[in-house]
Structure 1
Amino acid sequence: MKEMSPEERKASFTPRVCIFGGKAFATYVQAKRIVKFITDGGVTVNHDPDIGDLLKVVFVPDYNVSVAEVLIPSRIGTLDGANVKIRQEVGEESFFLFGARAHEIAGLRKERAEGKKKKKKDYRNVIQNWSMNCYIYNYEELMGSLEGNEGYGRADYFLVGKDFPSYIECQEKVDEAYRDLKRWTKMSILNTAGSYKLSSDRTIHEYARDIWRIELAVLPNVSREYKL
């Protein structure tokens, strides 16, 4: 966006609000750094004279499932965790998929550790911009946990750099879908309708039946005033 002219931005970029949510446990220092990293980035983006009217960054405090139900009309994600089941339920056409697949991960991490993978220019530019605008304590250590320092995050353990180009391409598909109101509305409805399988009611019922192997307890009749 910064590399575009004002005319190019107006013609090709769909206004966007990027919403982040999460919590950091009291002693989880790295998670606190990430929250600070996001909020610092939000200050920079939201007050940028070139893109401030086209892009906003918001961090939602006390994020939970109830908040997510309000915020998430459709899905974009990697094929990981709950996303696998979500995509099965809502259909591939209603899910924006990006990033490496599970069977590729081990090989990609090995290549990165051996120095065979190089960061793409766009990704390097993002990291450089953030490093100049975020005033977080021990920024290098935070980025190192993603990019290649010794320890848990060595050699981009989470493959952020590898997935970045695919993520940008996927976001362009999101823009395209959003401009088609009929398609976007259909996707939003299908995502909402398909989310039932991830409800806590279904999960607890299956745990009770398949894992705990307990039977449904039928309560005796109670007086009308105490019925729920």
Structure 2
Amino acid sequence: MVGSSRPGQPLAGYVVALACLVTMGVYAFMKWSSMPTVIVTREAGGRHGESVASRALSVMAMPSVLILCTALFALAPLWTRMVNATPLGSGLSSMGQSRILSLVLAMLAVLLLCLHVGIVDMFTGRGPTMPQAASFGLAAMIVGLAIAFAIQGSHRGVELGAALAAAGVVTALAKSLPTVAMALGSLALLLLVGYNSMKLGWESMERLRRRHESGDR
């Protein structure tokens, strides 16, 4: 049997997600009176008309995404249990799997909270800009995923250090060069996920191959 086939729910992740959801509501409530009903996000020109964003829909956007993501994470243990019943299972214990789910959900909640702050402040014209808020959120997501991959055993020390260094660079650039920081953060996140997904896939295929070879004997 590969690891535990009954991973638990990411309870710590739920706590962080709930805290971020409450923070989103409090922040929007505090800023609501200073937010115009609509703002123009793109002036009319050429073949397109004027684009506007509604205050109510904008305030609800990130909280809605967080609620949906949390609901999907509630189904993640079922999916993990199904995968663990095959040779492609990660080999992690139930506690290890729950820790990874909690960590990813928590960092995702922090990212969405940062985006929520950026959206609200886009209406008020005060506070961090959207690129700045997104950069801070991306840095948190990079750190969370790097640690999650390390727990899963797909990271060596050098790779983990590189991911943490990338998050540090994104955070350092967020204030002075927010657009550059956001672009670098997005690229680092894509590279982190892509590289480790291929690595984990290769490790799973190697486990499957070794199992078949031992079965042939």
* Alignment TM-score > 0.5, same fold: no
> What TM-score results when the alignment is normalised by the length of structure 1?
0.28
> What TM-score results when the alignment is normalised by the length of structure 2?
0.29
Structure label with greater radius of gyration: 1
